[in-house]
Structure 1
Amino acid sequence: TLPTPASAPPLPATSAQNCTAELAATNASLSRDIQTRVAAEQALQSHQAFLGRVLNAITDPIFVKDHQHRWITVNDAFCRLMNQPRVALLGKSEADFLTATQAAESHQLEARLFTTQGEAEIEENFTTDCGETLTLLTKRVAVTNAQAQPTLVGIIRDITERQQLREDLRQTAVRSQALLRAVERVRETLDLDAIFSATTRELQQVLACDRVVIYRFRPDWSVVFVAESVGAGWKSLLGVQSDETEILDDARQNTNAAGCTLKQMRTRQLAVKDTYLQDTQGGTYRLGEQYRQCDDIYTANFPDCYIE
């Protein structure tokens, strides 16, 4: 018979204890690594949530783009500006929402910023879905994120009201200059006709309107036109008034002439007249009103004679 092989000798007690200790240490190390990683992920999520709350609390639209010009972060204000939910914007670019020309201009600018790692601030017009045109001041800054990837941060500010205020101030300055020129003209001459004529021309240019007229009230609140500046294609009130005066003067001289047919004609006004102030004896202007404005005369229920 073959001899029975001898069984392996048992490990010494110290070796078994060492293996158990090493295994326990490894498990403890893995557990600590897992806990550290979980804590880091929780901290990252908390940081991202905090950053999101901060961005959404800012009233200016903010966006972050990757190197392919795709939005990777947007705040609530940007979503409102684009009138799109966040999920519809992330991963997309201007090419998906704006015209090809607008998208190309934006991408060309951003490509230069990515190359130079620079920043740029420009004014641009943006038309909303409602058809409203806004003037936006957009600042773009190229940065590198923690993963060494090029990104671009953009901050947008609506300066439409500021631009309107600037335009209002400019127009006020232009009007003030026109008024000063009119005052200087009064100092230079006492010819009222020349003063009024030049003043109407100045005001028509300043106001960019079709007609500026100065008229004088008679005691019965009827009017006489004394100066006018009128655009091309518009009937001159001064010309109509002058023609009417000449015709009536001739008529008065010839009504008694033999064979005159004017007496047989139906009498009518030779010129269209606005008799509102005469009929109302000055209307609300007698109560201290200095001016009135009508945005659309065709919807204001004016009589046909006034519109003509």
Structure 2
Amino acid sequence: MIHPLPIPHAVLKSPLAPHCKQTMFVDSHCHINFPDLVADLDGKLANMRANKVSHALVVSVNQPDYPSVLALAAQHDNLFASVGVHPDYEDTIEPTVEWLVSEAQHPKVIAIGETGLDYYRLEGDLEWQRERFRVHIRAAQQTGLPLIIHTRSASADTIRILREEGQGKVNGVMHCFTESWEVAQQAMELGFYISFSGIVTFKKAEELKEVAKLVPLERMLIETDSPYLAPMPFRGKTNEPAWVKHVAEHIADLRGISVAEVAEATTRNFFTLFAKAGPLQ
């Protein structure tokens, strides 16, 4: 059974419905602090407005770059931040529970991560990756913030460690989801949302398209993971938060529903999961 997460009272009382009637989108995962985006930050923010992307979550990948993530969120009302260290960063400052918990006290930090496991890019003894993942889970438990999880070629260990460390104590999102429906079900049973990126628009992503048809709308998020993974028709170009609407449009086509339905559900879900962000203004 997939257990629905409670909707905070503040979200229920927020003016979300009027905004969603205008088909507003939220990019639940981007790296707008990366050089190829931040160099034209004003332009990227203007493109978000023009494409009705109301908010974006800027996701941390390591400690050295984390201050730039936090600075963007602090300077812009419609940007939020996470704190964490990505599993692909091998030679970097190792996070501690104490550091993550301390940084998570900032009012614009609404999530822990991105964290998780990646057995695709790295080989050898990856126990350090698994221990780093556990550190993030423990920080999420202490702060009550959701986890942003990256998993690639490591879904079995990802689910296993979540069960060992945090079952019933943490929730979050499986970001840039590319796994099977079985993995999606397991993640949702643990209280996680499933987030789709531009990959779902790719012609050869047939299995992922089927998953996007099956995930309940109330457990779905959309994202860009920009500057990576630009959706069709921009594949191969530098991605940006404004293009998250193309992910929503493709999912709507797959499911035979309106884009407004996908926008409303995923926007509501964002402010339900990331409750620290507060109600949509």
Please indicate, yes or no, whether the TM-score normalized by the shorter chain is above 0.5.
Answer: no
Where relative contact order (Cα < 8 A, 6+ residues apart) is larger, the structure is 2
Give the TM bin, normalised by the shorter chain.
under 0.3
TM-score, normalised to structure 2's length? 0.19
More helix by share: 1
TM-score, normalised to structure 1's length? 0.17
